[in-house]
Chains A and B, each alone.
Chain A
């Protein structure tokens, strides 16, 4: 088993987190597969320059069956999966009154938030 001090709650949460990671991976693979099929159907080569991410257009791109919508949605779910894992772990540790691990989880999320801020600032 993992940590010696792992309580029953965290132990159960590990199973839930494992299932979430696997589920999100399969959803992202499915979305990307649809996007790749649409790419091929529209004669788009992987070497053609792809459109940048535009979150405001994502829903419209998916509903109008544009490959970029499915590809970006799948890709965002890929990136979100480990972040969701940290959030669920933080909740399990909070229920377990493990303040150290709650702080570690929050610190990880803060680092990711800084990454977003750095990326947005650098992209402008």
Chain B
């Protein structure tokens, strides 16, 4: 029972941190389960995928109810994240454990780098995005494919880049058990001109299908252990729910640097495991 409670607590911690920093719990869950609880990486990835679907479904539900997510763009891109996840989920069972650990260490290093560098304003400022549920204005001329994917106050560009990036995000998600928001949000925001808030909400919505495509493969191949998945996923869900309510009360600058330190330490540990 003690191990079970510790696993729930670890999930809560990952959920709170992930939610406060907008990363989702996956990036922390995999190292916690492998380095802290001794699970093998593939099993930890399976657990992480379930946690990621659960938290993204709850968040996406709220975003869709409030009409913040761009469902049309999200569904178009998630077709390609799902294809990527199908490829990644199949490759994951062919790669050696230490290769996956090495890839995860690289991912942790990349996330630490992106969090540590100075923030620059990119794309549209979403804080001023005007959301009017009653405004259903239609374009006057025959709309192009990009017009159809665009939203009020912004026009989507670089659909080809979005499709390739979405496929890559799907592969990474399936291999490493993360939601892939770290790729999809900048891809949509910087690469496709989607406001940050819409990109975050749309990415959250896409995560469900991306992770579900690979989770199906993990379940059928015995890559998900229910006894470790359930306590962790419940913990992540509770933590993410609490984190979203704490966000405005916490000094995120201190938390960000603490998180960078944790990521760097974890990346080194994971790299050491990878090289044996």
Contacts and interface: CB of A to CB of B under 8 A. Distances in A.
Contact of A2 (B68, B221, B234): B68
Interface size grouping (class) on chain B? 35 or more
A107 B209 CA distance: 12
A66 to B, nearest CB: 11
Given A3-B149, A21-B60, A108-B82, A78 B227 contact: no
Contacts of B72: 2-3, 5-6, 101
A100 interface: yes
A101 B77 CA distance: 12
Given A78-B233, A118-B90, A21 B67 contact: no
B73 interface: yes
B237 to A, nearest CB: 6
B148 interface: yes
A86 B60 contact: no
Interface in B60-75: 60-73, 75
Contact of B4 (A19, A40, A100): A40
Instruction: Please classify the interface of chain A as helix (H, G, I), strand (E, B), loop, or mixed, using the class held by over half of its residues.
Output: helix
Contacts of B86: 111, 114-115, 118
B228 A79 contact: no
Looking at A36, A100, A122, the one whose CB has the most chain B CB atoms below 10 A away is: A36
A1 B205 CA distance: 15
Contact of A21 (B39, B58, B138): B58
Interface stretch (B129-137, B184-192, B259-267): B129-137
Nearest to B207: A82
A75 B229 contact: yes
Interface stretch (B118-126, B210-218, B242-250): B210-218
Interface residues of A, number: 69
Instruction: Please classify the interface of chain B as helix (H, G, I), strand (E, B), loop, or mixed, using the class held by over half of its residues.
Output: helix
Contacts of B90: 118, 122
Contacts of B135: 1
A81 B234 CA distance: 16
Contacts, number: 242
Interface in B150-184: 150-152
Contacts of A15: 64-65, 67
B211 to A, nearest CB: 8
A45 B2 CA distance: 8
A116 interface: yes
Interface in B194-247: 198, 205, 208-209, 211-217, 219-222, 224-234, 237
B228 A46 contact: yes
Contacts of B131: 1
Looking at A4, A47, A120, the one whose CB has the most chain B CB atoms below 10 A away is: A4
22 contacts: A2-B67, A4-B137, A4-B139, A4-B150, A6-B72, A18-B64, A25-B61, A32-B234, A45-B1, A46-B3, A46-B231, A50-B229, A53-B219, A75-B219, A79-B212, A82-B212, A100-B145, A112-B82, A115-B85, A116-B220, A119-B220, A122-B220
Given A39-B230, A45-B1, 20 more contacts: A5-B143, A6-B136, A18-B65, A21-B60, A21-B64, A32-B230, A39-B227, A39-B231, A50-B228, A71-B226, A75-B233, A78-B57, A82-B56, A82-B60, A104-B76, A108-B78, A108-B82, A111-B79, A111-B213, A123-B220
Closest 6 A/B residue pairs (Cβ): A82-B208, A119-B220, A18-B65, A21-B61, A18-B64, A22-B61
Interface of A: 1-8, 10-11, 14-15, 17-22, 24-25, 28-29, 32-33, 35-36, 39-40, 43-53, 67-68, 71-72, 74-75, 78-79, 81-83, 85-86, 89, 100-101, 104-105, 107-108, 111-112, 114-116, 118-120, 122-123
